[in-house]
Amino acid sequence: MKKSITFFLAGLLPLLFCKSWAQEVISSAGAIHDSANLQVSWTIGEPIVETFSSGGTILTQGFHQSKLVVTAIDPIPLAGFDIEVYPNPTSGDVNIKLNKGNISKLRFSLYSSQGEQISQQEFSNQVEQINIQLLAPGYYMLKIANDTDTSEKTFKIVKY
């Protein structure tokens, strides 16, 4: 009899102390809205949110993280050109150096990570500079294209 009570308590006792370890958030507001083709979810007022970055890695703590799906389409390479973009990452100027190729009809455009065009300019020298000191830290895309054909080259710029 004592053995069956001991086995019963030994089996029941862990169940009494079980806790759900699901993700939880303390916030002042939030909601989820669904439709046939779209889902929007948001939270406001998380008391602790922090972002850490080291090199090319970014870690953000907090409950509400975006589910991003990025689809890349490989551009036609910029044939006949040798281009350097430096320093990267940077907090000030970005240099674009054309080592090989003709600068005529060659242009560059800077885009935010949301795809918004920030600036566009044609090459006038073998080395061009873009000042990004006033831009917020983050990722930017620098697209260099040739107007004579559809070739282009894209560089990811990290602003810290």
pLDDT recorded at residue 135: 92
- Give residue limits of the domains in the chain: 24-69, 82-159
pLDDT recorded at residue 102: 79
Helix (H, G, I), strand (E, B) or coil at 155: strand
pLDDT recorded at residue 140: 94
For residue 95, which of 76, 123, 114, 116 has the smallest C-alpha distance? 123
Structure tokens of 40? 């929007």
pLDDT recorded at residue 33: 82
Q: Return the CATH number of 82-159, one of 3.90.380.10, 3.30.300.280, 2.60.40.10, 1.10.645.10.
A: 2.60.40.10
Ordered mean pLDDT values, 10 residues apiece, the chain (160 residues): 68 61 68 81 71 76 60 65 89 90 85 92 91 92 84 88
For the question of whether the overall pTM of this predicted structure is more than 0.95, the answer is no
pLDDT recorded at residue 85: 92
pLDDT recorded at residue 9: 64
pLDDT recorded at residue 17: 62
Alpha carbon distances (Å) from 11 to 1, 5, 8, 24, 107: 16, 10, 5, 28, 72
